[in-house]
Structure 1
Amino acid sequence: MQRICVIGGSRYFGKLLVQRLRAAGHRVTVINRGSSRPPAGVEHLVADRDDEAALLAALGPRTFDTVVDQVCYTPVQAAIAARVFAGRTRRYVLTSTIEVYDPQTAAALPAAPDGSPVSEQAVDPAAWPVDLDLPWHDAAYLEAHYAEGKRQAEAVLTRVGGFTFASVRSAHVLGGGAEEFTGRLAHYTHRVSRGEPVTVYAAERPTVFIHYRELAALLLWAATETDFSGPLNACSDGPLDAQALAGAVAAQTGRAPRFRAAAAPGAASPFSFDRHYAMSNARAKELGFTFSRTADWLPAAVTEALAAPTP
C-alpha cells in the first residue's frame, strides 16, 4: 500500500485513476477546489492549487509516496508545487500532453524528420527556457499558450530537487461517451451520422490516440509500479488521420463520410493536421507497459459517443 496524492482527479481519466488507486488498496488523497467530492474512502482536501499558503495549510503535515498532478498548466503552478511538495513526496508525476511537440506552438521545435513518430528527446525539459513573468494567470493567454505552459511546467519540475519527477505526455484521449468532455470525437460522430461534411486538410497527416481507461492504467502504473524519471510518451499503437477516424465512425453508422477541404490554417476539424503529429511509445514499452491497439478500442468508443447527448 502506498500513500498517493492526486491534484485534480475530479473528471474523466483523473476520476477513473482515483477509483483504481483506491481499488488497488492505496491510501488516496484528492486535492481540488471543492467542486466535486471523490469516492468514499478517499481523503478530500479543499484548496486552490494557485494559492500556496492555502495549499500548505490544507496539507498540514501529510507526506506521500507519489503525487499525481492532473491540473498543472503553467510554470507558475509548477513552481508553487515544487516548493510545497519538496521533501513531502518521494515522486511527482505530471500529466502532460502530445501538444508539447507541436512545431506550430514553438519556433524552436522542428517538424519530425521524415514524418517519423517523435520520441521524448524532441522536447528536453531540462533545457527548455522558463519565463514566470508571462501573463499565465490570464485565462485567454493560457488557452492560447497551452502547449508552452505544459513545456515550461515540465521544465520547472525537472530542475527542482526534493523528489523524482516524471511527466506523462498523453496522446489525444478518447472514449467514455459523455465523459469525454472535449466533444472532439462527438464532432465526428454527429457530423458523419447526419451526413454533414468533415473539414480536413488536403494533405492529411496522422496523429495518435489513447483510450481514457488505458491512460488511467498507465498513470496508476507510473505512480505505483515504476520509478522512471523524465518524460514518457503515452499512446495506443496505430496512428490515424482524420479521414481514417471518420471512416471508423462510418463503420458504426453505416453512413459514408463526406469531406470538405479546409480553406485556411486552423479551419479543419479536431485531429485534422497538416503536419506529422504522432509520438513513439517505445520508451514506455521498454519500461514494461503494454499498450492496446487504437483499432481494437475505437469502435466501442465511437458507439459510446453516438449514444451520448448531442452537444
Structure 2
Amino acid sequence: MSAALESSAALYQRVKRVIPPFEWPVFAGDIAAILQLKQERRAVVLAHNYQTPEIFNCVADIAGDSLALAREAMHVDADVIVLAGVHFMAETAKLLNPGRTVLIPDPQAGCSLAESITARDVRLLRERYPGVPVVTYVNTSAAVKAESDICCTSGNARRIVESLGVPRVIMIPDEFLARNVARETGVEIITWAGHCEVHERFTASQIRTLRRENPGVVVLAHPECPPDVVAEADFAGSTAMMSDFVDTRAPARVLLITECSMSDNIAVRHPGIEFVRPCNLCPHMKRITLTNIRTALEEMRHEVSIDPAIAARARAAVERMLAVR
C-alpha cells in the first residue's frame, strides 16, 4: 500500500479539498491498480459528472454529462471502454462503438427514468398520436431509443425539439424536462410521467429557504427538476452547462440543484467558491466504485451487449441527435 500511496500522491493534490487525508489510503491501492490496468487493457474510463471525486478526478480519462460522453465515446483510441455511470450510458457508448468492448462495473446501476418506460409504451404512444415525432431522452434503454425518431440530452433538448420544425412532439420519458422545454420553445409537447428520483425531490420552497439562509447565493438548477424549482433558479441547464457557468462566472457562493457529487467535482478546481450543498444522492450512480471499476478491468466482466436489430435503430436515433449542432 505504501507504494500505491507514493505513486498516487500527485493525484491526491487534485482532490485534497474534498477527500479527507484519512480516506485517501482506502482509495490509493485501487487507483494505482486501475491506472496500470488501463495501460494493459488499452482501456479508457468514461465518468459522468455525478461520480464521486476519487473516480471523476483520479481515474477518468473523459468526464462530463451524457452529451459529452456520447460524443467523446465515438473518438476514443482504446479497445475497452469502462463506463463509470449508469446502464443506459453504457448502452449508448456501445451503440456508438459496436466494435469495442464496453464494460459497466455494476450492471444494476440503473435509472428511474429509464425504468419508467418500455418500447411497448412508445409504440402505444405512436398509435395514439399518429405522425407526431418522438423525441427520447438518452436516459432510456436501447429498446426505447429504437422506437424513437431522435434522442436528446438535457443539454440539447431545446435545440433538438426546435430542429424538428413541427408544432407538436412527443417527448419521453422525463415529464419535467419536457415541460421545461415546452415553456422555452412554445412547442406543444406530449409528456410521459417519468421523473428522476434525485431531481423530483427538490422543491421551490426548499430553494427559497436556502436563499434566505445563504444571502447572495447563485442558484443553478438541472432541467429534470420540477418547473417551479427551475423558475426559482437563476440559471437552468445540464450538468455541463452548470459547470461552464461556474467556470466562466465564478460566483462567490453557488447552489447546484442536482446530484451532490457534482458540487464536489466542480469544487476541486474552484477553491475560492463556496458551494452550498443540498445533498440528494443518486443511489444508482453510487453503485459505481473504484473497487468494481478495478474488478471490471481485471476480469473483463459485465460486458454490455445489445441485440443487433435493436442496436441499428437505436443507433440511428442517437446519431440523428449528434448531427444537430
Give the alignment's TM-score, normalised by structure 2: 0.30
Q: Which fold has the larger relative contact order, with Cα–Cα distance below 8 Å and residues 6 or more apart in sequence?
A: 2
Give the alignment's TM-score, normalised by structure 1: 0.31
